[in-house]
Chain A
């Protein structure tokens, strides 16, 4: 019952954010206003009431009020919205104003296009707290589609960000990228054709972030999370036909190593090991080709209730990682997943080959593992044994460099679902933060599409 109420609460918030109306009509009036949302103070069991006499939020229309998105963003004040009309915008937008909402009237026809130009590295780069970007497409950028970032070596860690109903495709590096940023939501988005990852969360601890109901397809990595963890939830997403699927990892090239304490639950990970994907110049990722979930040098993660199937090399692999330092993988829990159709369902590679180092497997439906009988050798609810089985591991070989697909040639996706009521929904900046108290694993359901 409580789960139902929480779901209802969530729906109420989204409905309040999205309002009602017809999103098929073009924006025709400049300087219009829509009701402004206020931070919701209700509890889970008490859906929010409509605020009375709320002030109207200022909306800046592109191209009616401003010819470019950048001009509109620069003119907007905190709490206001930039509403972008249909069109292709060859811009690289920089956002330095807090608590803005940047929204397209139609996700599929409001397109920021970088034309693969070196002069347009990012579709939208956000340096300010509380910015939400909604309902548009970012494509063909020479680095990243949508990028939320703090300043690396100052005291500024970005607090509050949200990407909703974003399509990010054929960007050279990352589709949607959060770096040195906390308190974030990436949701209901689609990413394909990136040479690194569709979604990337890097250098945050705790991240206080959730990625949910996203699709990642035909990227080098479906998800990458270097040195990112702590209240970080990757739940209810679909990762399909990437070179490698979900890859939280530890690297020396960013601060806050090692990666630790993230949750990967309710995801559908399938078709990994797709040769028709762009490959990264980073040879490290090629080692993971064909593996659904990889935890290289990762620690204290929970992998639960995922469906992991039809991956070319393996379902899941936990391994140490050599970088400038050698990063071991410890205390990861793999519980209640369904593995099927993988050459090997689960692989555990520990540094000295004998001690599971607290990595454990329980209640999974799996038929093969290295070491054999992995749920007996390294159970989550019992004492681990010494690993004596050193069976060789065989992975599918990725295509050679000559056969790698240019990221610009990955097929563009079809139309993706629009944000409801994009024309009339009240702007809701990302200063209302996601709550992460008491993660309820029992509330995670196996992926519906699997």
Chain B
């Protein structure tokens, strides 16, 4: 069952010059507080509800426009900064090894957003600047992932690996 869902992002509190509280008592000016509410409608999305419900990857994977095409390589690298996967969406070929390198000063980890899609990388493996960990992706499919310290499966520090035959 595929349903077209109008994705409406309600952006509350777009703060156009709004400010009211001088929390310290050292600012000479006070601007009027005002809160605008803006509704932004974005493009409609294809969502495979059955796949979401079953916690299984969908049959069809949509490759985002900002995906980095790294197909044809045996090994690819993904850098981690604080707090992001620099190559956030990559497309690779089956059998490619992916190495994450912590280039930041925070600890990070790599966890599949779809449970057991691949072996997670523990924080201790990516705890310090320069630390690395590798996973090999043998089967075609969609492998969204995240750092559980700085994100959730769909917010914050997220990444996506799309493996094509």
Contacts and interface: CB of A to CB of B under 8 A. Distances in A.
Interface of A: 2-3, 6-7, 9-10, 13, 39-44, 78, 94, 96, 98-99, 118, 121-122, 125, 127, 129-130, 142-144, 147, 149, 151-153, 159-160, 173, 179-180, 183, 185, 187, 202-203, 210, 212, 226, 233, 235-236, 251, 253-255, 281-282, 284, 431-441, 443-444
A183 B12 CA distance: 14
B22 interface: yes
B20 A254 contact: no
Contact of A435 (B13, B30, B158): B30
A39 B107 CA distance: 38
B15 A183 contact: yes
Interface in B29-45: 29-35
A151 B23 contact: no
Given A254-B82, A281-B127, A235 B21 contact: no
Contact of A440 (B21, B27, B107): B27
Nearest to A8: B25
A214 to B, nearest CB: 12
Interface stretch (B68-76, B93-101, B135-143, B145-153): B145-153
B134 interface: no
B113 interface: no
Contact of B26 (A118, A183, A235): A235
A210 B23 contact: yes
B103 A253 contact: yes
Contacts of A187: 23
B107 A173 contact: yes
B105 interface: yes
A433 B20 contact: yes
Contacts of B105: 251, 253, 282, 284
Interface residues of B, number: 45
A323 B52 CA distance: 43
Interface string B80-109: 011110001000000000000001111100
A441 to B, nearest CB: 8
B33 A436 contact: no
Nearest to A324: B103
A98 B19 CA distance: 17
B128 to A, nearest CB: 6
Nearest to A251: B105
Would you call the interface of chain B mostly helix, strand, loop, or mixed?
loop
A379 B72 CA distance: 60
A432 to B, nearest CB: 5
B81 A254 contact: yes
A41 B29 contact: no
Given A10-B22, A160-B15, A212-B23, A440 B28 contact: yes
B102 to A, nearest CB: 9
B24 interface: yes
B23 A39 contact: no
A435 B27 contact: yes
A433 B18 contact: yes
Given A41-B20, A41-B32, A444-B26, A130 B13 contact: yes
B111 to A, nearest CB: 11
Contacts of B22: 6, 9-10, 44, 434-435
Interface string B121-165: 011000111000000000000000000111010011110000000
Contacts of A235: 24, 26
A142 B31 CA distance: 40
A153 B88 contact: yes
Contacts of A9: 22, 25, 30
Closest 5 CB pairs of A and B: A437-B29, A438-B28, A152-B84, A435-B19, A443-B26
Nearest to B108: A143
Contacts of B27: 6, 435-440
Contact of A438 (B12, B21, B29): B29
A192 B152 CA distance: 26
Given A431-B12, A438-B27, A440-B28, A41 B34 contact: yes
Contacts of A212: 23-24
Nearest to A5: B25
A152 B15 contact: no
B12 A129 contact: yes
Nearest to B9: A156
A78 B103 CA distance: 37
Contacts of B14: 159
Contacts of A236: 24
Interface core residue of A96, A152, A432 (most chain B CB under 10 Å): A152
A253 B20 contact: no
Contacts of B128: 281
A118 B83 contact: no
B148 A39 contact: no
A44 B30 contact: yes
B155 A6 contact: no
A144 B150 CA distance: 9
Nearest to A188: B23
A118 B18 contact: no
B152 A40 contact: no
Nearest to B148: A121
Contacts of B104: 253-254
